[in-house]
Amino acid sequence: MWQGSGKVFIQLASVLLCAFEVAATARRLVVSPTTTFDVRSYGACADGITDNSQAFLGAWNAACSSSGDVMLFIPAGTYFLNPVKFTGPCSNVNTLTFYLKGKLKASTDLRLYDKGDEWIQFGHVKGLTLTGGGTFDGHGSAAWAYNQCPTKKYCHILPVSVKFMSLNDTIVYGIKSVNPKFFHFAVLGCQNFRASKMYMKAPEDSPNTDGIHITRSSGVVIHDSIIKTGDDCVSIGHNTTNVFISEITCGPGHGISIGSLGKYPDEGDVRDILIRDCYMSNTTNGVRIKTWQNSPSSSSVTNITYENIQMSNVGNPIIIDQTYCPDNLCDRDDRKVPSRVSISDVRYKAINGTSASPVAVTLNCSPGIPCQNINLENIQLNYVGGEPSTAFCAFARTRFSGPMIPLPCN
């Protein structure tokens, strides 16, 4: 089943990446669009203290109500910013470039954030480019102590640094994010979203600081980026299709994850995901699919490919975990009911390096809906402790080919 649709998808992903690079280069060359809106002309002050949210909104509204190809320009300097939403539609604008050269500094007063939603939102715009080499500084260290998610299954979520909401044809290039209160970036309900040359950093022990979280989106490319953080470098949520992730350097962090899935009712399926040419170092997981037990409804994960992934001292390099329950947040009843998320047509190819744990491959699938057509090819993962690495399989229909370290499990 995988061979036909999977190969077609890989070819499409390669074409998608090539088209993205051409489009991104073309847009970056447009450094002098028809009209430029400098935030300083709307009262912005780069002293790191003055709240610039209204000045930035004034520049955004002027650019959004303009026409043609426009640019909102933030020059060098540090700009303090309370929560702000840059929203469209921008009906007469062809492309809108948010050129961030300086640093944006987030407020640490959690009372200012609407139910912990986000610090900055870009929403309901077509043809947005975010670039300029600037930095989003979430000042998360002042908020991490208030994060209840590691101890409560249903928790009050802290603000995401930057949320992309319901965008079409978006390019993000050369942007940095440091110390978010929650996720660095969230991509929600977006179509044709391309990000590259990104840099994200947060302490290894910072809670829930996912690098890029993608959900309810399609046609997403994340390419050539460095992510050092306290949670997943990239996480893929429900109702997400056609995602291509490549050349990601990840670590520290929790690896690249699909999930967690199966926590909420009526979650959509995840399919057509290609992750390749990545490097992971000192992460707690490598490539992971995670689903909750006792899922309130059924969903599926299908046509997933991991290819040419290099691991260095990685815990759980390959893992499917359908009993996901961090920090024992599940009650006894939850543990009695298998996950209702079906997993099928997953391919692991050319995954090499070292495992920090003796069990280098874990395929712990749902006894209610066993995993189908899990293919492992040319896997060489040596345990750093010197003993032979092992594999664990439960309720998984697997196929092995080529050299295999660890030895295949049944």
Catalytic residues: 254
Phi, psi of 199 (to 5 degrees): -135, 125
